[in-house]
């Protein structure tokens, strides 16, 4: 295991954070040993749906060698640090179905699995067979998808994912890619987490945030933080904003929505404090 300093104001998709020390996991043994020192190390990944406090401790991430795609005959083994776009391109080239949802979806495969990422009813779990991870020994075990409790933007995965194991089914569908592109046209391109909150049952987080008057309202000392005028569930950073400001705005939105609608918004963004 090696140590590396990562500036989260540069590395994270929201462009907020400080320069922090991160342990780079190079082997399953590294991760197993890290668990002996801390019960729950904070997993960084590609930091696409992550807000990291300047005070965050015990940060870990996989070595870049875990960005790979391996054809194992009946299934694909995909390293958890593999960019979603890399797997999408592979699936398109090899006419594989079930990966169309990755078109335009940022992040690494590990994070996408953990959050069961997707768009509306289309989710990564539809093609996932399981994951490779460390359990009770410093070797990788296969954990079936059925035991991961994959649901709307959540799972029971708390450990570091080393790889995802996916079905191989023929029939890449370009019409789905076109559909997903159209569905994402209202999403801003500015630095963000992606969706900040999960949609409540039978409602939309963006609608609720707009209804309490927070859509497009500048926030923070530099007035560079806001819920996007294009899509209110995207908290965007247009300059130099701080962790405390982002956290305050998230809590403010939850408070306003709770008081007006009696609905508790659930974070989709992961916050490491």
Q: Which two tokens stand for residue 126?
A: 């539809």
Note if 100 is an active site residue: no
Exposed/middle/buried for 263, CB within 10 Å: 0-12, 13-18, 19+? middle
Burial class (CB in 10 A: 0-12, 13-18, 19+), 94: middle
**Is there a catalytic annotation at residue 195?**
yes
Tokens 């801003």 locate to 188
Is residue 153 annotated as part of the catalytic site, yes or no? yes
Residue recorded with tokens 């982002």? 246
Torsion region of 73: left, alpha or beta (phi above 0 gives left; psi -120 to 50 gives alpha): left
Report CA-CA distances (Å) from 270 to 49, 67, 100, 120, 179. 6, 22, 25, 20, 27
Count of other CB atoms within 10 angstroms of residue 136? 7
**What tokens does 238 get?**
């247009």
Residue of 108, 133, 195, 242 marked catalytic: 195
Other beta carbons within 10 Å of 90: 17
- Contact between 26 and 63 (Cβ < 8 Å): yes
Marked catalytic residue, from 53, 103, 108, 153: 153
Catalytic residues, by residue number, are: 153, 195, 268
């Amino acid at each position: 295991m090696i140590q590396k300093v990562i500036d989260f104001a540069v590395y994270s998709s929201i462009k907020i954070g400080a320069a922090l020390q991160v342990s780079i996991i190079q082997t399953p043994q590294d991760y197993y040993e890290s668990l002996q020192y801390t019960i729950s190390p904070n997993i960084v990944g590609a930091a696409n749906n992550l807000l990291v406090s300047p005070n965050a401790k015990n940060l870990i991430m996989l070595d870049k060698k875990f960005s790979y795609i391996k054809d194992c005959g009946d299934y694909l083994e995909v390293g958890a640090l593999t960019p979603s776009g890399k797997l999408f391109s592979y699936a398109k080239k090899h006419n594989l179905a079930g990966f169309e949802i990755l078109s335009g979806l940022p992040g690494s495969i590990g994070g996408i699995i953990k959050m069961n990422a997707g768009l509306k009813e289309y989710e990564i779990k539809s093609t996932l067979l399981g994951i490779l991870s460390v359990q009770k020994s410093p070797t990788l075990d296969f954990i079936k998808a059925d035991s991961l409790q994959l649901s709307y933007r959540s799972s029971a995965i708390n450990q570091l994912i080393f790889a995802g194991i996916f079905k191989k089914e023929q029939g890449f569908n370009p019409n789905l890619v076109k559909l997903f592109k159209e569905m994402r046209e209202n999403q801003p391109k500015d630095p963000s987490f992606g969706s900040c909150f999960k949609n409540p049952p039978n409602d939309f987080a963006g609608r609720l945030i707009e209804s309490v008057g927070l859509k497009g309202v500048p926030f923070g000392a530099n007035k560079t933080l806001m819920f996007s005028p294009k899509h209110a569930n995207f908290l965007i950073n247009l300059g130099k904003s701080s962790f405390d400001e982002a956290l305050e705005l998230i809590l403010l939105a939850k408070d306003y929505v709770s008081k007006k609608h009696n609905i508790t918004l659930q974070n989709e963004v992961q916050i490491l404090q």
